[in-house]
Amino acid sequence: MKICVTGGMGYIGSHTVIELIKEGHEPIIVDNLVNSNPEVLNRIQKITNVKPKFYQIDVRDEEKLDDCFKQEGFDAVIHFAGLKSVGESVKKPDLYFDNNIGSSKTLLKVMKKYNVKNIIFSSSATVYGVPKHVPLVETDPVGQAANPYGQTKIEIEKILINEAKQDEKMNIVLLRYFNPVGAHESGLIGEDPNDIPNNLMPYITQVAVGRLEQLTIFGNDYPTKDGTCIRDYIHVVDLALGHLAALKAIKENWGLKIYNLGTGKGTSVLELVNAFNQANNLNIKYQYGARRAGDVVVNYANADKALNELNWKATHNIVDMCRDAYLWQKQNPQGYKK
Ligand code: NAD
Ligand code: UDP
């Protein structure tokens, strides 16, 4: 299939492009590079021997996107493009609404014009808000967004759900990611945050290579087994393969589907740090600090629906995630900037 991959130069998108190529698909990347580096294309080529076609386009730019769709004739779209920093979204909510919701609307409009009926969207577990129970199932209510980033995910889901109601020929898959971490096993591509990382795993890997002094664990007095928060970390390659499984499952008049992509296992911050040390024979320096405002205490997925309907499940464990994340950072201490 010929697939438009918006945001395909980014962390999850680039890993998915590799798996698409491996499966014999033709991914075509649409990305404005606002949070990615052109070097990604060379790395994809190194891994797959294929340099995917790349359009440097802002998805909000309807004219350019229209040209791209006219030229390519896509079978499906995987829509990763979006801004994802929670902290930045609080400071610049309008930018997040415009970029994330605006690009999704433009994309849908152009898809309609060119009769492209299949779309997979990168949603997030953040749409559940503060969980009333765990594990989270897809039928759980969408909650109150904790920040503008989360609000954009809820809004885009609504737009897509509405679209599926209006056009029964549309096949729309909302994938709710839990916590993607790790990197391709080659260590050639991985997560490359612009500033000091907000997320746990890139923070740990940057401490590991000496870019950062020590990790601060935000809170050790939560009502959990070791007092630190619990998340469902999922290897980015498993996540990428979830998109391929969804693509394979799409058939005519399939309509709207929602899946959690997680492992179904909760891991505490302290457990992740210990696994990282074990996987890489290191001793990451850390201290305990105050709780981070707005943190959910425990969050993990029930991923049975994806298993039953897509025949997908995560196969990498926490140690695999820590090993691959470190290999990437060790080989690329400054990320793609070298
Ligand atoms: P990323 O920032 O690495 O990749 C996103 C890509 O989209 C970047 O290459 C960026 O340049 C591009 N982009 C942003 N706005 C654009 C626009 N208007 N036009 C064209 N390109 C644009 O992020 P990621 O971690 O790979 O996340 C991919 C998607 O998955 C995002 O939608 C994100 O919100 C979602 N998601 C990520 C996580 C996570 O923890 N990484 C969790 C849940 C959901
Ligand atoms: N965390 C931490 N120190 C950091 C970054 C994160 O202790 O420098 C904790 C954070 O409080 C949360 C967990 O690690 O409990 C995962 O945080 P992340 O931001 O990666 O994911 P999210 O909270 O968005 O699920």
Note the pLDDT of residue 337. Answer: 87
Task: Indicate whether residue 59 lines ligand 1 (CB < 6 A).
Answer: yes
Note the pLDDT of residue 3. Answer: 98
- Average pLDDT score over the chain: 97
Give the separation between CA 114 and CA 191, rounded to whole angstroms. Answer: 33
Confidence (pTM)? 0.98
Atom of ligand 2 nearest to the CA of 229: 15
Note the pLDDT of residue 338. Answer: 63
In the DSSP assignment, the letter for residue 34 is T
CA 143 to each of CA 94, 125, 130, 172, 230: distance values in angstroms, whole numbers, following the listed order: 21, 10, 7, 21, 19
Give CA 193 to chain center in angstroms.
13
Note the pLDDT of residue 281. Answer: 98
- What average pLDDT does this structure show over 238-258? 96
Atom of ligand 1 nearest to the CA of 149: 34
Task: Indicate whether residue 279 lines ligand 1 (CB < 6 A).
Answer: no
Ligand 1 center–CA 71 separation, angstroms: 24
Considering the chain, what percentage of its residues have pLDDT values greater than 70?
Answer: 100
- What average pLDDT does this structure show over 89-113? 98
Give the separation between CA 129 and CA 53, rounded to whole angstroms. Answer: 37
pLDDT band at residue 61 using 50, 70 and 90 as cut-offs: very high
Q: Does the pLDDT of residue 54 top 80, yes or no?
A: yes
pLDDT band at residue 284 using 50, 70 and 90 as cut-offs: very high
3-class state of residue 42 by DSSP: helix
Residue type, 162: N
CA 14 to each of CA 11, 110, 162, 220, 239: distance values in angstroms, whole numbers, following the listed order: 6, 23, 29, 35, 12
Protein residue with its CA nearest to atom 7 in ligand 2: 217
Is there a contact between 167 and 152 (Cβ–Cβ < 8 Å)? Answer: no
> CA dihedral defined by 83, 88, 93, 95, rounded to 10 degrees?
-50
Task: Indicate whether residue 224 lines ligand 2 (CB < 6 A).
Answer: no
pLDDT tens track for 138-185:
999 999 998 999 999 999 999 999 999 999 999 999 999 999 999 999
pLDDT tens track for 31-42:
999 999 999 999
